[in-house]
Amino acid sequence: MTYTLFADDPPKQAADPGVGFLANPMFLIAAVMLFFLVIAWPAQRRAKKEQAQLLASIKPGTKVVTASGIVGTVVKVKEGEDEITLKSEDTKFRVLRSAVVRVVGEETAETKS
């Protein structure tokens, strides 16, 4: 008596389609691009617009903070020029308008003396 044995292939496990889809490099690239289109670029445009409004609102008597951390009061602003003159304590100096990071407030006549 002769027996013939046939070896079967091991049963194939069903692949999880969700994991394969999420690990797809094209999906990851598309997700990153969508993030930039929806979140990052509008926030960057909004920040640039706010900075431009801030720089346009600078006038004499405004207290500002520069990028280097100097707190001073604007003494002179010429329209169309990129420089403004600041006074901090007993010193007057010129800085670029773009160096202003934040407007602290306005100095009133009472605080100037």
- Nearest-CA neighbor of 73 among 56, 87, 94? 87
Residue 113 has pLDDT above 50, yes or no: no
Residue 16 φ then ψ, to 5°: -80, 110
pLDDT single digits (tens) 88-98: 888 999 999 98
Residue 9 has pLDDT above 80, yes or no: no
Better pLDDT: 107 or 62: 62
Q: Is residue 102 situated within a structural domain?
A: yes
pTM: 0.58
Mean pLDDT of the chain: 83
Q: Is residue 89 situated within a structural domain?
A: yes
What CATH number did the domain enclosing 49 receive?
2.30.30
Q: In which order are the strands placed within the sheet that holds 83-88? A: 91-96, 83-88, 71-77, 62-66, 100-106
pLDDT single digits (tens) 37-82: 999 999 999 999 998 898 888 899 999 999 999 999 999 998 878 8
- Greatest CA separation for the chain: 119
Contact 105, 74 (CB under 8 A): no
Q: Is residue 67 situated within a structural domain?
A: yes
Q: Is residue 54 situated within a structural domain?
A: yes
